[in-house]
């Protein structure tokens, strides 16, 4: 796990190594073990290394091929690198690193090597003879890759902070995407919140040649699923085998590793499988609170006792959060509602000597873990309602509202022009509804397309595909990467092993019906978890933000909301309305915190 940086100069061949050095310095926390730069005429590559596989200096990057014609900078892990060596039977490896395997595979196979990789990655390979730059990102966007292209040159980095440190462009807010950000706490790649800073899309590769950038898609999850057509027979046996194999691959490490343990089904399954594969007790970490309504301590300790892990409870109090809040905001690469959760647990995990931690992230998206899966299916059963005129549907909402509380999101769903699962998902998954997002902005959005793709009718599979392409990639994985790497901690996500993902999403919906939480997963790994874990109420990994925002963090909230109100494109009166509604328990804390996060991020990074 590392940071990669680069600058290709279009205007001169004067030394530009200082640009890369500044970019490396901005991201040194991602790779404290070694920082190096490679320059050849117009091309300048930088790398900050966090040593995990083959700790020897010979594996430092930028790394050169045996023929001397190729140089790579690589962020991530190729878990099946040992098996991939068989693809090069006559090659004599000089290191034990996955970096060398990846580079030599590319030399032989070019972009075709991507299909063989099982891992998380973003890498760039420079071809010395042609001057071509080849870039690629993993299937699901676990590892980030940002870039900026103008007449000065092409700049890339593992984080937006790295790009900003290059000073090769103006730091301007992408106002055209504010509506989308307010709705979803994120912007769908290839765009970002910084104008003209782009994100290479997951499952894509790019080639820079003769100052021209071309981008191609190398992996399409939906097409793979359609082509494979998973067999429902022996599904539970196959899931168990695929899951345990995914865990075993992600336990390959030359440094100490452990696991996050919330006490929920996903993280508990990860710990259970790790314990069966490990000769030593697994090290586990949980965040606990004095407020019992938020604490999952008893469930985490139940799993820790069952599998005899070396367990650490991290007791979090408001003062603890306040003490690290400034540091967390400084590390924040993008405004986030809950990335600070990961920042704090990663901090303590690293302080206990770990460099790698496995996470249960992705289990909800894969095994129908969210309520909106079931709600979307219920809406689909009544799709005939969407054929009614809008005024009749509005009257229905008014009538139902007399007898029950109709949520803002459900109202928004009922008033869409026609039944469309992708639009319904977009609304159900939103932080602010489309109307609330519009009300926050002085200039109304003219772009009604939030970037959500159209899906065919197979409800659970379709929602999973949408989750992977949007919330998982653009919020959860982004926050997980940035906030863990702020402490030089690598997070691995076994639920996102592509073999497991392709198989599970391809299964029919009737197998995934959540009669109880994660029914297909818990039946497939029967006996791994006690009854109390499987049938407990889902809490999710969150802090007592509602309490803190009204007390210890109230001043911070008011300061940042005041800053947003000073900006010409925000509706100051509506911001006041939202703040008052939150104080009166009429809207959730996340709607306020994402605004606070946006204001602080803009000021921290001097975004105009």
Do strands 146-149 and 490-492 pair parallel, antiparallel, or not at all (unpaired)?
unpaired
The per-residue pLDDT for 450 is 47
Tell me the two tokens of residue 379: 């809406």
Looking at the predicted structure, is the pLDDT value of residue 410 above 90? no
Sheet holding 283-289, edge to edge: 310-316, 283-289, 257-260, 356-358, 490-492
* Residue 33 CB-half CA count within 13 A: 20
Going by pLDDT thresholds of 50, 70 and 90, the confidence category of residue 548 is confident
CA 478, CA 196: separation in Å to the nearest integer? 19
Burial (Cβ within 10 Å: 0-12, 13-18, ≥19) of residue 586: exposed
CA 515, CA 377: separation in Å to the nearest integer? 14
Going by pLDDT thresholds of 50, 70 and 90, the confidence category of residue 114 is very high
Structure confidence by residue, pLDDT tens digits, 370-403: 999 999 999 988 888 898 898 888 888 877 665 5
Tell me the two tokens of residue 148: 């900026």
The per-residue pLDDT for 17 is 66
Please tell me the least confidently modeled range out of 20-24, 173-177, 235-239, 453-457.
Answer: 453-457
The per-residue pLDDT for 11 is 84
Average pLDDT, the chain: 89
Torsion of CA 478, 481, 486, 492, to 10 degrees: 160
Tell me the two tokens of residue 422: 């992708």
The per-residue pLDDT for 451 is 47
Of 291-305, 330-344, 538-552, highest mean pLDDT: 330-344
Higher-scoring residue by pLDDT: 134, 416: 134
Going by pLDDT thresholds of 50, 70 and 90, the confidence category of residue 521 is very high
2 catalytic per annotation:
yes
Looking at the predicted structure, is the pLDDT value of residue 447 above 60? no
Backbone region of residue 194 per phi and psi (left: phi > 0; alpha: psi in -120 to 50; beta: other values): beta
First to last CA, the chain: 32
Q: What is the pTM of this model?
A: 0.93
Per-residue pLDDT, averaged over 434-457, amounts to: 67
Going by pLDDT thresholds of 50, 70 and 90, the confidence category of residue 540 is low
Going by pLDDT thresholds of 50, 70 and 90, the confidence category of residue 329 is very high
Going by pLDDT thresholds of 50, 70 and 90, the confidence category of residue 66 is very high
Cα–chain-centroid distance for residue 270?
Answer: 18
The per-residue pLDDT for 596 is 96
Do strands 257-260 and 283-289 pair parallel, antiparallel, or not at all (unpaired)?
parallel
The per-residue pLDDT for 253 is 87
* CA distances for 180 relative to 70, 168, 187, 419, 450, angstroms: 40, 26, 6, 21, 6
**Is omega for the bond preceding 62 within 30 degrees of 0, making it cis?**
yes
Query: Tokens 């196979």 identify what position?
Result: 109
Looking at the predicted structure, is the pLDDT value of residue 346 above 70? yes
The per-residue pLDDT for 157 is 98
Per-residue pLDDT, averaged over 309-319, amounts to: 83
Looking at the predicted structure, is the pLDDT value of residue 124 above 50? yes
The per-residue pLDDT for 547 is 85
DSSP string, 95-114: S--HHHHHHHHHHHHGGGGG
Contact 147, 105 (CB under 8 A): no
* Residue 340 CB-half CA count within 13 A: 25
Q: Which domains does the chain have, with CATH numbers?
A: 2-219 (3.60.20.10), 223-367+463-534 (3.40.50.620), 371-461 (no CATH), 545-604 (no CATH)
Per-residue pLDDT, averaged over 431-439, amounts to: 90
CA 527, CA 511: separation in Å to the nearest integer? 19
Catalytic annotation, pick one of 2, 48, 113, 557: 2
Sheet holding 2-9, edge to edge: 34-40, 43-49, 2-9, 153-157, 146-149, 198-199
Looking at the predicted structure, is the pLDDT value of residue 404 above 80? no
The per-residue pLDDT for 571 is 95
Task: List the beta strands (DSSP E) in 14-162.
Answer: 34-40, 43-49, 63-64, 70-78, 119-127, 133-137, 146-149, 153-157
Higher-scoring residue by pLDDT: 535, 27: 27
CA 400, CA 574: separation in Å to the nearest integer? 27
CA 371, CA 13: separation in Å to the nearest integer? 56
Q: Name the helix (H) or strand (E) containing 227.
A: helix 221-228
The per-residue pLDDT for 454 is 45
DSSP assigned state of 309? -
Task: List the beta strands (DSSP E) in 376-489.
Answer: none
CA 68, CA 408: separation in Å to the nearest integer? 60
Q: Which of 521, 504, 492 is nearest to 138 (CA)?
A: 492
CA 246, CA 599: separation in Å to the nearest integer? 40
Q: Express as a percent the part of the chain with pLDDT over 70.
A: 93
Looking at the predicted structure, is the pLDDT value of residue 455 above 50? no
Sheet holding 63-64, edge to edge: 63-64, 70-78, 119-127, 133-137, 204-209, 212-217
């Amino acid at each position: 796990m590392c940071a990669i940086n680069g600058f290709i100069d279009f205007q001169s061949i004067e030394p530009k190594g200082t640009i890369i050095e500044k970019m490396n310095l901005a991201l040194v926390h991602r790779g404290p073990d070694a920082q190096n730069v490679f320059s050849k005429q117009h091309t300048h590559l930088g790398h900050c290394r966090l040593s995990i596989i083959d700790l020897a200096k010979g594996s430092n990057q930028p790394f050169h091929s045996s023929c001397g014609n190729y140089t790579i900078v690589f962020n991530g892990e190729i878990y099946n690198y040992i098996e991939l060596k068989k693809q090069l039977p006559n090659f004599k490896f000089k290191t034990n690193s996955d970096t060398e395997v990846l580079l030599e595979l590319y030399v032989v196979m070019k972009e075709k090597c991507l299909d063989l990789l099982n891992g998380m990655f973003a890498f760039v390979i420079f071809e010395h003879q042609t001057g071509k730059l080849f870039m690629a990102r993993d299937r699901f966007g676990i590892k980030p890759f940002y870039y900026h292209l103008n007449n000065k040159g092409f700049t890339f980095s593992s984080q937006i902070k790295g790009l900003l440190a290059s000073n090769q462009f103006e730091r301007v807010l992408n106002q055209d995407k504010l509506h989308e950000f307010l709705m979803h706490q994120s912007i769908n790649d290839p765009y970002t919140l910084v104008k003209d800073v782009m994100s290479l899309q997951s499952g894509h590769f790019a080639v820079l040649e003769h100052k021209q950038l071309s981008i191609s898609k190398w992996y399409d999850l939906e097409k793979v699923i359609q082509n494979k057509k998973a067999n429902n027979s022996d599904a539970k046996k196959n899931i168990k085998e695929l899951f345990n194999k995914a865990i075993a691959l992600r336990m390959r490490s030359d440094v100490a590793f452990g696991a996050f343990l919330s006490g929920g089904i996903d993280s508990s399954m990860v710990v259970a499988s790790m314990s069966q594969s490990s000769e030593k007790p697994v090290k586990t970490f949980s965040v606990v609170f004095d407020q019992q309504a938020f604490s999952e301590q008893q469930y985490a300790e139940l799993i820790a006792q069952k599998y005899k892990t070396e367990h650490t409870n991290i007791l979090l109090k408001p003062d603890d959060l306040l003490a690290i809040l400034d540091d967390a905001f400084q590390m924040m690469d993008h405004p986030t509602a809950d990335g600070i959760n990961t920042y704090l647990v990663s901090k303590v995990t690293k302080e206990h000597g770990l460099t790698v931690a496995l996470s249960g992230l992705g289990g909800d998206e894969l095994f129908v873990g969210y309520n909106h899966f079931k709600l979307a299916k219920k809406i689909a059963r009544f799709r005939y309602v969407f054929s009614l005129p809008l005024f009749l549907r509005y009257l229905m909402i008014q009538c139902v509202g007399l007898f029950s509380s109709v949520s803002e999101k459900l109202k928004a769903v009922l008033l869409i022009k026609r039944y469309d699962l992708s639009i319904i998902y977009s609304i159900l998954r939103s932080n602010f509804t489309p109307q609330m997002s519009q009300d926050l902005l002085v200039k109304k959005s003219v772009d009604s397309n939030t970037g959500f793709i159209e899906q065919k009718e197979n409800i659970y599979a379709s929602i999973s595909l949408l989750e992977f392409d949007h919330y998982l990639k653009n919020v959860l994985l982004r926050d997980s990467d940035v906030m863990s790497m702020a402490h030089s901690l690598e997070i691995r996500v076994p639920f996102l092993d592509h073999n497991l993902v392709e198989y599970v999403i391809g299964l029919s919906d009737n197998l995934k019906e959540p009669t109880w939480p994660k029914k297909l997963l818990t039946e497939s790994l029967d006996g791994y978890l006690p009854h109390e874990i499987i049938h407990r109420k889902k809490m999710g990994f969150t802090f007592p933000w509602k309490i803190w925002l009204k007390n210890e963090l109230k001043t911070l909230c008011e300061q940042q909301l005041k800053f947003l109100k000073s900006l010409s494109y925000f509706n100051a009166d509506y911001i006041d309305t939202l703040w008052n509604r939150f104080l009166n328990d009429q809207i959730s804390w996340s709607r306020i915190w994402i605004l606070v996060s946006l204001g602080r991020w803009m000021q921290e990074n001097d975004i105009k």
